[in-house]
Structure 1
Amino acid sequence: MKKITVFVFILAVAFANAQKDDNTSDKLTFVKGTQFINLNLSLNSSTSDLDAQTQTQESKNFGFSINPSYAYAISDDFFLGIGLGYTTNSRENDLNGVMDSEVSTNSFSVFPYVRYYKGVGKKLAFFVQGETQYTRSKSEVNNTNARTTNTFFFGVRPGLVLMLNKNLGLETSIGALGYTTSNLEDEANNSEVDFNSFNFSLNSTNLLFGLSYYF
């Protein structure tokens, strides 16, 4: 919810700047040959407690992700790019002060993409990004019972960029519309399961913030 509130605030500021810019100059345009490097970072940490008459449970969660990418404009406002990603998550459950279980997940991804910008002010532009993403994740419970998941995503993400100066842009995107297919292999019981879904998501897990350097 906090992420969505921040997104709405940025959107409001961006529109205010676009309104002012409309009266003074042309729309933001990225000419052919422009390049940019983008970096998205996220960090989350939480703790929950449950006190009962006979036991006390505590759960600690920690997650971190980093997603660098590079893109090149093959024509005005139209970019081809590629990105890499790494995500790690861990959850530790304690029972009466003693560790009961620990779940850890590490994921690596690669995502080639295309992106088209539409300027709406001197410093603001909306964009639509079409991408194909492959992610390989491995989860373990107490360092055993490994589960490996291979996931493909095909879809689009809308977003906007607000240029802070000539080269530096504040970027955000929310939501994803697309098709996801996954294959899960569970070593504990030697099983394999396939998942397929087509959905449109606006939840906070698909809300991304980052900085881009254009040159």
Structure 2
Amino acid sequence: MKKSFFLLMMLLVGVLTTARAQFSEETKTAGGSIGYFNSSNRQPDGRDTRFSRFSLNLKGGYFLQDNLEAGLQVGLDASNHEWDYNTSIERLSSSTFIIGPYARLYNPLTAVVALFGEAGFKLGFGGSSGSSSGDTKIRTFSIGLRPGVSLMVNENLGLETSIGLIGYDNFSSGSKENYEDTRVTSGIFQAGFSLSDILLGFRLYLTD
């Protein structure tokens, strides 16, 4: 047992002392992240509500200078909301395609661990449908800042997580057949840490 623990510690030390972050100018990056959130609540009137959300993001970037990356992101946000209403269950599902630029600033703490802050602007195009409503067209735009941590497995592969969000979301929805005349728009400012904002991902760092 002691021998196995010793070998494991030696392997961990070896990884931590040989991995090197590739945050240098002209490095190219490619990667992705996923997020999932699920919750259920009982309302004061006894009705149950359930909500789930899934997000997938793909990114490609380029280091303009050491520790500063800029690039393009595309992704998909999908959600499902259910709630009891009298003797039936109402459902509302939506999906949105996301695209936009981003910029990320790294602060390497060691050869393995780096903190980062990522600012981005995203446009969204999608729709929703419900069990008691017609098809709806959705348009969104958002701007925000996410903090995160990157852990380098080796010099070309990093695992990362983003926790929390500071930003603004604008949401517009309307009838699919007559969007402009039925459109309703709302905006919300977000600041804080929530389980629904956690993203897990990876990043490839490619040099010539």
**TM-score by shorter chain over 0.5:** yes
- Give the aligned partner of residue 8 of structure 1: none
Counterpart position of 2:80: 90
1:113-148, CA deviations, whole angstroms, 9 ceiling, x for partnerless residues?
A: 011111101101111111101112311113852222
1:138 partner letter: G
Alignment partners' CA distance in 2, 1:91 and 1:200:
23
Q: Distance in 2 between matches of 1:40 and 1:114?
A: 16
Match of 2:7 in 1: none
Change (3 A) 1:195 1:171: same
Deviation at 1:84, TM superposition (A): 0.6
Which residue is 2:59 aligned to?
A: 69
Q: Does 1:33 align with 2:22?
A: no
Residue 11 of structure 1 corresponds to: none
Letter in 2 for 1:206: D
| Equivalent runs, 1:167-182 vs 2, <5 Å | 167-182=156-171
Aligned to 1:201: 192
Question: Corresponding residue for 1:112?
Answer: 101
**Number of equivalent positions:** 189
Q: In angstroms, what is the RMSD of aligned CA positions?
A: 3.4
- Whether 2:69 is the aligned partner of 1:79: answer yes
Contact kept, 8 Å, 1:29 with 1:119, in 2: the verdict is no
Q: Which residue identity lines up with residue 28 of structure 2 in the other structure?
A: Q
CA pair 166-86 structure 1, distance change in 2 beyond 3 A: same
Shift of 1:62: 5.5
| Contact 2:36/2:196 (<8 A) preserved | no
Q: 3-state SS of the aligned residue for 2:111?
A: coil
Tell me, yes or no, if the aligned pair for 2:92 and 2:130 is still in contact at 8 Å: yes
Q: Which one-letter code corresponds to 1:34 in the other structure? A: T
What does residue 12 of structure 1 align with?
A: none
Contact 2:77–2:96 (CA<8 Å) still a contact in 1?
Answer: yes
Check conservation: 1:69, 1:82, Cα contact below 8 A: yes
Partner SS for 1:164: strand
Q: Aligned in 2, Cα 1:95/1:42: closer, same or farther, shift over 3 Å? A: same
Task: Give, in angstroms, the shift of residue 157 of structure 1.
Answer: 1.1
Residues 132 and 47 from structure 1, CA distance in 2 versus in 1: closer, same or farther, beyond 3 angstroms?
closer
What pairs up with 1:109-188 in 2 under 5 angstroms? 109-142=98-131, 144-186=133-175
1:102 aligns to 2:95 (yes or no) = no
Query: 5+ unaligned residues in a row in structure 1: which ranges?
Result: 1-16, 50-56
What is aligned with 2:3?
Answer: none
Go from structure 1 to structure 2 and tell me whether the alpha carbon gap of 1:83 and 1:143 turns closer, same or farther (over 3 Å shift). Answer: farther
The 1:104/1:198 distance shift into structure 2, 3 A limit, reads closer
Instruction: Name the CA shift for 1:172/1:196 in 2 (closer, same or farther; >3 Å).
Output: same
Q: Cα distance 1:159–1:152, how it changes in 2: closer, same or farther (>3 A)?
A: same
Compute the displacement of 1:100 (Å): 4.1
Per the TM alignment, residue 76 of structure 1 is displaced from its structure 2 partner at its CA by 0.8
